[in-house]
Amino acid sequence: MRLENDDKQAIFEIVAARYFTTQNWKWVNLRKDINKILKAYDELNEQYASYSYVSRDWYVENMGSKNIHMCNSWEELKNLVTFLNTYGTAFNFLVNTGNRKSFCIVSDSRELTEAQASAIKEVQRLGYNTFIFLATVPDEIEFQLLQVRGVN
């Protein structure tokens, strides 16, 4: 069976996620969870509007969504959301290695698109590191379909 590009991309993401997990890194799949980060930002703004006597940094630090955006300050979250709104689709993961937060592209090629190259330049200006997770998946997968008959 021939694998489609979307199938390969899903396999790359599974392999990358498993690697991040075995390294004990925190990670967020941006293809699946970018809207959770944007929603957390909106919720924080709503909380701050209702209770402005508490600092935005306190909300960032103490809201349950911190494990999604991994930010430590309001300024960092605001910059992250601005970046994601413009360049978020260029990356597959946001990864926290414990030392530094990084954006990750998963691919089977070392070649970057123009959009990815521009996004990398921008994200590095914000102080994030960038990973390219290279993986190889065959174009075709062999399989067998076995029929198991019940006893009549």
Percent of the chain with pLDDT strictly greater than 70: 99
Residue 33: which residues within 8 A CB-CB, separation 6 or more? 68
pLDDT tens profile 10-21? 999 999 999 999
- Report how far residue 152's alpha carbon sits from residue 143's, in angstroms, rounded to the nearest whole number: 28
pLDDT at 152 over 80: no
- The pLDDT of 97-101, averaged and rounded, is 89
**145 lies in a domain?**
no
**139 lies in a domain?**
no
pLDDT tens profile 103-143? 999 988 888 999 999 999 999 999 899 999 999 888 898 88
Looking at residue 62, its pLDDT comes to 87
**82 lies in a domain?**
yes
**142 lies in a domain?**
no
In this structure, which amino acid lies at residue 102? S
pLDDT tens profile 42-98? 999 898 888 888 889 998 988 888 888 999 999 999 999 999 999 999 999 999 998
The residue segments making up the domain with residue 50 are: 5-134
Which strands sit side by side in the sheet containing 101-107, from one edge to the other? 26-29, 93-96, 101-107, 129-134
